[in-house]
C-alpha cells in the first residue's frame, strides 16, 4: 500500500473518530442503562460488552433496576451506537467484490477497506413499566439492505421470590436469537469476538445455533435462577420472515434460512462463586427444521445441536481475568438437501470448539486496557456438493481452525460515570487461519487485520 494511500486512511479514520467523539460528547444522555440505574458502565461490564456478575443479575431481573424506584422510566431509555472500522485482508479477491459507496471505501483494488461507518444502531435499553424491560437494537449496516434491521430484541418480565429460604429469579423472555437471552459470554449470541469485520473471509461451515438464526426467528420462553446456583431456561421459536413474529425480523433479509414449525431451545447451567472467583458450567441446545432450497416450502433438513460451555471470571479491584469456552456438536439430517441437489450425503455432522482468555486492567485516569487470545476450530464430515471441492480439498472438507488476537482500550475521559455522555472502545484484532475450508496450504491468505472504533452515546 502506498504512502499516499496510508495517509488517506489515517486522515479518514481520524476525521471519522473525531466526528463520532464530538457527537457523543454533545449527546443529552449517556447509554441508557447507566442513566437509568445511576451506576457506572463498569458495574455491569468488564470490557464492554462482557458482563460482570452484577450485569448478569441486571439482565436476569429484566433490565428494570431504577435509581428512582419508579414504575416507569423518567425519560425514554434510548441510546445510540456508531462503529467505524478498517479491514485489511491477505485475500484481495474478497474486497474486489465490494462496491465503493459513501460508507464503503475501497482504499485500493487490493486489500484495504474503510467503513465510515460500518454500523449505526439505535437502542431501547431499560425499563418499560414495572417489572417489564427490554433491550432492543435496530441496526443499519453498510453491507446490508436499505432498511435498518431488527438486530437484537430481548423483551422480558422478571420477578424474585424466596424458595427454601433462597432467592429464586424467574422470568419470561421474547427474543429473536436463540441464546441471546443468556447471561454468560460463553454461549454464541454474546460470545467472543464481540465485533468483527463484515468483509473478512469466513469458513463455509457453522452450526445453526451459532447465530445463524439471528433476526430470522422470533419466540419466547421461561427461565429461572435459584440461589445463584442453578439456572434453567426453555424457549420456542418460529420463523420471523413471515407471520406473527415478523416484528423480530424487520428490515431487508436475503434468502437462505427459512425454518419450518416450532424450534425448541434449552439451557441448564450450574454456577458458584468464592470471593472474587466466579464459575459457570452448562449445556444448551436446539432442534431446527430448515427448508433446504432457501425458500418457504419444499423438502427440509433437520439440525440437532447439543453443546457444553463454561466460564471462569476473576474480578478483584482493577484487575479482571476471564476464561470462556464452548463445544458444539451438530447432527445434520440432510435428506432434503440430498433431494434438492444441495448435498452429497443424507447426513453430516459438525463439531465446533471455541476458547478465549481475557485480561483487563482499569484505572480512574487512564481508562481500561486489555486483550484477548482466542482459539477456534470446526471439524466435520466431508460433503463435496455442500462445501465445494478443489485440487487441495477434493472431498469437500469443512475443517477450519485458527486464532484471534485482540487488544482493547476504553478511554477514561468520562470516568465511566452515569453523568457522562457515553463511551468509546478502540480495538485492534488479527484473525489467523491455520486451516481454511479443509486446506492448510494458503490458509493464511484469509488472515485479517481489523481496526475498530466503537462509540456508544
Whether 409 contacts 367, CB under 8 Å: yes
| pLDDT given for residue 374 in this prediction | 98
Give 260-288 as a DSSP string: -S-EEEEEEEEEEEETTEEEEEEEEEEEE
Nearest to 343 by CA among 308, 292, 307: 292
pTM for the structure as a whole: 0.90
List the beta bridge partners of residue 280.
271, 311
- What's the confidence (pLDDT) of residue 256? 60
pLDDT band at 121 (very low <50, low <70, confident <90, very high): very high
Give residue 215's region: left, alpha or beta (phi > 0; psi -120 to 50): left
Show me where the domains of the chain are located.
Answer: 3-456
The confidence score (pLDDT) of residue 421 equals 58
Angle at 86 between CA 98 and CA 449, to 5 degrees: 100
The whole-chain average pLDDT of the chain stands at 87
Task: Give the mean model confidence (pLDDT) for residues 318-338.
Answer: 96
**pLDDT tens string 123-178:** 999 999 999 999 999 988 887 766 677 888 999 999 999 999 999 999 999 999 99
Q: How confident is the model at residue 270 (pLDDT cuts 50, 70, 90)?
A: very high
Domain covering 3-456 in this structure, CATH number: 2.40.160.10
Confidence category of residue 185, pLDDT binned at 50, 70, 90: very high
Q: Residue 45: pLDDT above 60?
A: yes
Q: Is the peptide bond before 28 cis (omega within 30 degrees of 0)?
A: no
Mean pLDDT of 344-371: 94
Residue 120 neighbours by CB under 8 Å, 6+ apart: 80, 81, 82, 83, 139, 140
Peptide bond connecting 49 to the previous residue in cis, omega within 30 degrees of 0? yes
- pLDDT higher than threshold 90 for residue 101: no
Q: Identify the band that residue 298 occupies on the pLDDT scale cut at 50, 70 and 90.
A: confident
- For 395, the 3-state DSSP assignment is coil
35-44, 114-123, 260-269, 354-363: segment of lowest average pLDDT: 35-44
How high is the pLDDT of residue 457? 87
CA nearest 140: which of 156, 158, 153, 122? 122
At 8, is the pLDDT very low, low, confident or very high (cuts 50, 70, 90)?
very low
Give the contacts of 67 (CB within 8 A, at least 6 positions apart). 36, 37, 38, 39
Amino acid at each position: 500500500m502506498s504512502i499516499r494511500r496510508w495517509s488517506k486512511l489515517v486522515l479518514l479514520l481520524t476525521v471519522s473518530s473525531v466526528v463520532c467523539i464530538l457527537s457523543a460528547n454533545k449527546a443529552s444522555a449517556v447509554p441508557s442503562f447507566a442513566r437509568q440505574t445511576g451506576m457506572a458502565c463498569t458495574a455491569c461490564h468488564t470490557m464492554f460488552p462482557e458482563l460482570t456478575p452484577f450485569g448478569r443479575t441486571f439482565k436476569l431481573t429484566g433490565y428494570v433496576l431504577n435509581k428512582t424506584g419508579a414504575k416507569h422510566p423518567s425519560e425514554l431509555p434510548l441510546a445510540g451506537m456508531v462503529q467505524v472500522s478498517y479491514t485489511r485482508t491477505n485475500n484481495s479477491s474478497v474486497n474486489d467484490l465490494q462496491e465503493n459507496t459513501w460508507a464503503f471505501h475501497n482504499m485500493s483494488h487490493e486489500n484495504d477497506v474503510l467503513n465510515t461507518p460500518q454500523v449505526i444502531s439505535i437502542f431501547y435499553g431499560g425499563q418499560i413499566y414495572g417489572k417489564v424491560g427490554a433491550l432492543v437494537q435496530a441496526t443499519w449496516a453498510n453491507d446490508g439492505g436499505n432498511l435498518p434491521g431488527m438486530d437484537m430484541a430481548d423483551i422480558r418480565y422478571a420477578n424474585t421470590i424466596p424458595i427454601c429460604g433462597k432467592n429464586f429469579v424467574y422470568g419470561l423472555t421474547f427474543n429473536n436469537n436463540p441464546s441471546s437471552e443468556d447471561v454468560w459470554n460463553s454461549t454464541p449470541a454474546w460470545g467472543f469476538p464481540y465485533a468483527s469485520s463484515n468483509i473478512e473471509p469466513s469458513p463455509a461451515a457453522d452450526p445453526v445455533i451459532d447465530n445463524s438464526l439471528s433476526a430470522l426467528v422470533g419466540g419466547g420462553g421461561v427461565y429461572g435462577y435459584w440461589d445463584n446456583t442453578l439456572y434453567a431456561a426453555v424457549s420456542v421459536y418460529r420463523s420471523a420472515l413471515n407471520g406473527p413474529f415478523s416484528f423480530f425480523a424487520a428490515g431487508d433479509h436475503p434468502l437462505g434460512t427459512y425454518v419450518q414449525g416450532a424450534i425448541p431451545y434449552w439451557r441448564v447451567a450450574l454456577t458458584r462463586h468464592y470471593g472474587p472467583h466466579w464459575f459457570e458450567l452448562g449445556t444448551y441446545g436446539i432442534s431446527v427444521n430448515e427448508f433446504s432450497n432457501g425458500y418457504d416450502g419444499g423438502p427440509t433438513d433437520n439440525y440437532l445441536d447439543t453443546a457444553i460451555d463454561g466460564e471462569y471470571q476473576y474480578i478483584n479491584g482493577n484487575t479482571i481475568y476471564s476464561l470462556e469456552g464452548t463445544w458444539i456438536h451438530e447432527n445434520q439430517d440432510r435428506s432434503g438437501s440430498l433431494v434438492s441437489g444441495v448435498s452429497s450425503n443424507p447426513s453430516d455432522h459438525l463439531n465446533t470448539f471455541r476458547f478465549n482468555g481475557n485480561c483487563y486492567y482499569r484505572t480512574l485516569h487512564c481508562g481500561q486496557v486489555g486483550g484477548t487470545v482466542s482459539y477456534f476450530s470446526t471439524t466435520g464430515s466431508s460433503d463435496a456438493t455442500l462445501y465445494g471441492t478443489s485440487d487441495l480439498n477434493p472431498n469437500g472438507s469443512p475443517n477450519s481452525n485458527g486464532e484471534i488476537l485482540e487488544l482493547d482500550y476504553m478511554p477514561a475521559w468520562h470516568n465511566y460515570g452515569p453523568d457522562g455522555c457515553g463511551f468509546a472502545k478502540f480495538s485492534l484484532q488479527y484473525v489467523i487461519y491455520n486451516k481454511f475450508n479443509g486446506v492448510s496450504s494458503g490458509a493464511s491468505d484469509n488472515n485479517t487485520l481489523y481496526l475498530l472504533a466503537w462509540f456508544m452515546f
